[in-house]
Amino acid sequence: MEQRKISNNTETRNLAEIAAPTGNVYESAMIIAKRSNQIAASIKQELSHKLEEFSNYADTLEETFENREQIEISKHYERLPKPTLSAIDEFQHGEIFYRKASEE
């Protein structure tokens, strides 16, 4: 997944621009929400796969040691823009394919 520079700051959005492609604010919001869920799931799967390499399967009550590489990977994913921001950006740039179920 290619990441553009997306601001993590709160920005006011123009609802007319968001509603323009579909003609309805609520349809646009649903499209953005579904895409956001897809992005979140793929990021979670990617993070879990990367952290699996560092998993320790010991069933002891001893103190677990922190792995610096694991911490760096986690910090990288924490710095990524939230999935909703990515979905809004994709929607505004016309990168999301969608269709109505009634049109099929």
What are the pLDDT digits (tens) for 6-49? 888 888 999 999 999 999 999 999 999 999 999 999 999 999 99
Domain boundaries, the chain: 16-54+65-93
Q: How confident is the model at residue 5 (pLDDT cuts 50, 70, 90)?
A: confident
pLDDT of residue 32: 96
Helix axes 68-79, 25-52, angle to 10 degrees: 170
Please report the pLDDT score of residue 19 as a whole number: 94
| Model pLDDT for residues 40-94, shown as the tens digit of each residue | 999 999 999 988 887 766 555 555 566 788 888 889 999 999 999 999 999 999 9
